[in-house]
Amino acid sequence: MSAAAAAKKILPLFDRVLIQRVKAQERTATGLFIPEKAQETLNEGLVLAAGPGAADKNGNLQPMAVKVGDKVLLPPYGGNTVKISGEEFLLYTDKDLLAKLSE
């Protein structure tokens, strides 16, 4: 099952965002394999799903800062791990994300 198909099974609530972490490169530019222990953990992710937003004190819906397809910068700790069909995803609140990355 692809990441997109697995992500369709999860619909985040309130201001939560479903993220798939960007995988580190497995090969160098010349084609050599990089051992798994030597690969760095990237703090970038791709937004696969986003909730509608959280309500403020007056009950007004606050819009989300990110949308599906955005690349984001993740904090080193936090988020909740969710596994579906062997794939690992992360759930963060919108305010926990550090930045939106431009391409």
pLDDT of residue 55: 84
pTM, two decimal places: 0.74
Report, as an integer, the average pLDDT of 73-80: 85
What is the assigned CATH class of domain 3-101?
Answer: mainly beta
Higher pLDDT residue, 8 or 48?
Answer: 48
pLDDT of residue 12: 83
Confidence class for position 57, pLDDT limits 50, 70, 90: confident
Distance CA 35, CA 8 (A): 32
